[in-house]
Amino acid sequence: MSTAQIAFLKGHGTENDFVIIPDHDGRIELSPAAVARLCDRRAGIGADGVLRVVRSAAHPEARAMAGEAEWFMDYRNSDGSIAEMCGNGVRVFARYLHHAGLVEAGDLTVATRAGLRHAHIAKDGPEGAAGDVTVGMGRAVLPEGEVTVTVDGRSRPARNVNMGNPHAVTFVDDLDDAGNLFTAPGVAPAGAYPDGANVEFVVDRGPQHVAMRVHERGSGETRSCGTGACAVMVATARRDGLDPAVTGLPATYTVDVPGGRLVISEAPDGTVEMTGPAVIVAGGTFEPSWLAAALA
């Protein structure tokens, strides 16, 4: 890591918060331990994850996508592990690019480890309020086979939904049934989720309106999870008999998360879109010497 000061920003999407590291030319090395320290809410900056902003052409995992997406979202969970995708992270990533003057409002394509994601940045609203960001989240994959989620010794059936990363969605009578989500719920069978799972607990709030809590793999309970909200929408539409592939009609659900509200839509061709806020709240620099000393 360079000895020069490193710039960062802090942003959130429905209170799913991120440290943003602009590294356009891909010169900063972030070890898992460094990411975990940056995300530490007492000894670091504090976040649910890190978004490293790199030109696709400068990153070996994204070079093949450089012709379609100038920017690659290198996303890390708060424990330092690498994740395939982060829905709220894509919105915040797009907001950063607009905030930094690197893109205009309108359509944008972002490279991720789960492939290309297409976003739309709405123009700013009255009094400069940042417009919502819509992200095309791709198509959900629903692997066959029964899965269960276990909390406090009680097991419940769940729906296996993959949004580029793995989710187990279970319906409960009360969100308190999720228990203490600082520790990961049990998910079985293990073979259904060889790399672990994000787990969503869902209650009904009204017609095509649900609320959720989530334990994110590698981060613990978070205030929001964009891919999780999409997985919840897909699972709920199947439960409600509103699978767009069957009805031929798009389905839209409002999904409340502890940090706000997201609107998720699925088209008859299976493509899923997520719309919600994305906010840049602060910026500054940190000393690499602090990080090196903290990890010594």
Residue 247 belongs to a domain with what CATH number? 3.10.310.10
* Positions marked active-site: 86, 225
Which residues make beta-bridge pairs with 200?
169, 214
Tell whether 260 is covered by a domain: yes
Helix (H, G, I), strand (E, B) or coil at 277: coil
Tell whether 53 is covered by a domain: yes
Q: Is 162 annotated as a binding residue?
A: no
Tell whether 137 is covered by a domain: no
Q: What is the DSSP letter of 233?
A: H
Average pLDDT of the segment spanning 11-26: 96
Average pLDDT of the segment spanning 266-278: 97
Q: Is 160 annotated as a binding residue?
A: no
Q: Is 180 annotated as a binding residue?
A: no
- How many domains, in total, are found in the chain? 2
Tell whether 240 is covered by a domain: yes
**pTM of the predicted structure, to 2 decimals:** 0.91
Confidence of residue 128 (pLDDT cuts 50, 70, 90): low
Spatial neighbors of 168 by CB under 8 A, at least 6 apart, are 147, 149, 158, 159, 160, 161, 187, 193, 197, 198, 199, 200
Q: Closest Cα partner for 48 from 105, 95, 1, 86?
A: 86
Interatomic CA distance for residues 102 and 26, integer angstroms:
16
Q: Is 154 annotated as a binding residue?
A: no
Tell whether 218 is covered by a domain: yes
Tell whether 199 is covered by a domain: yes
Tell whether 140 is covered by a domain: no
Interatomic CA distance for residues 228 and 101, integer angstroms:
30
pLDDT tens, 32-88? 999 999 999 999 999 999 999 999 999 999 999 999 999 999 999 999 999 888 999
The verdict on 116 and 17 lying in the same domain is yes
Per-residue pLDDT, 3: 61
